Amino acid sequence: MALERLQKILAHAGIASRRKAEQLILAGRVSVNGQVVTELGSKADPERDEIKVDGRRVRLPVERLYLAVYKPRGMVSTLFDPQGRPHLADLLKRLPARVYPVGRMDYASEGLLIATNDGEFAQSLLAASKRIPKTYLVKVNGMLSGEQLRQFREGVPLAGRRTPPAEIRLLERAANPWYRVTLTETRRDQLRLMFKHFGRLVEKLRRIQIGPVELGKLRPGEFRPLKPGELAALRKLLEQPGRSAAGERRASSRTHSHGKHR
């Protein structure tokens, strides 16, 4: 195998993102054939060289895995939690290779996450996350008025800047209604804050779609391999940096499945 930059090797092995891998190198935690390496331009052959992080051998994954995971409510979307709460590693420990989630979801939310051991794919997906539509089912403690729906679609001011245009549709008219919302940007707690802007509190929040990948019939705690068509569609989406967010939302709306809300 040809020589590759160390940070790329570490990302491919699922050790860390490229940026974090660079931090590991600068901190002197990476060695190649017994020699500590601190130069960011350093290269190695992952098949011939002995690469270690904190003294542990780095091995590239034998098989690349791409998974759709249903994160349950009350679980952190990481592979470890210092507070001892349930985490994704509890669900994925029986897999033949270590995978890690692409992106995060808050503890009180549930639904679709993508997990993989392909570091290059994960980084591309993260870099394109603000262009890829994500769809949610949201239960709130009160109806939005027509004017509030219009403002929601056009974007609301949060932390000094307006959110991008969103799609929102009422699914169930009730004292505690369900809405279907599609966003192309999801800042921390964004949906909860958007509803809070109109005096509504989110009671339940479930992500059901990321780009072409749908939650489908998965139950909380379950996962499945991405279908070949889903993976191909995702890769194609990542290759189109100039595509508009509005166009992506329209494409998503044509392919979505309503699903049953609860």
The CATH number linked to 52 is: 3.10.290.10
Q: What is the C-alpha separation between 214 and 254, in angstroms, rounded?
A: 13
* Residues, the chain: 262
DSSP state of 16: S
CA distance 215 to 224: 10
High-pLDDT (> 70) share of the chain, %: 90
Residues 73 and 40 in one domain: no
Q: Report residue 152's pLDDT band, with 50, 70 and 90 as the boundaries.
A: very high
H or E element: which one contains 7? helix 6-12
Pair (40, 106) in one structural domain: no
DSSP three-state, residue 251: helix
Same domain, 40 and 121: no
Contact 61, 37 (CB under 8 A): no
65 lies in the same domain as 99: yes
Q: Tell me, yes or no, whether 53 and 65 share the same domain.
A: no
pLDDT (0 to 100) of residue 62: 67
Q: Is 241 found in the same domain as 157?
A: yes
Q: Are residues 138 and 42 in the same domain?
A: no
Least confident of 3-12, 163-172, 205-214, 222-231: 3-12
The answer to whether 213 and 97 have CB atoms below 8 angstroms apart is no
Residue 77 CA to residue 133 CA, distance in Å, equals 19
pLDDT, residue 110, reads 97
Domain end position, chosen among 33, 57, 81: 57
Chain mean pLDDT for the chain: 87
Q: What is the pTM of this model?
A: 0.72
Active site residue ranges:
106
* Residue whose C-alpha is closest to residue 137's, from 257, 38, 25: 257
CA distances from 172 to 26, 236, 262 (A): 53, 34, 11
Question: Count of domains in the chain?
Answer: 2
Domain span including residue 43: 4-57
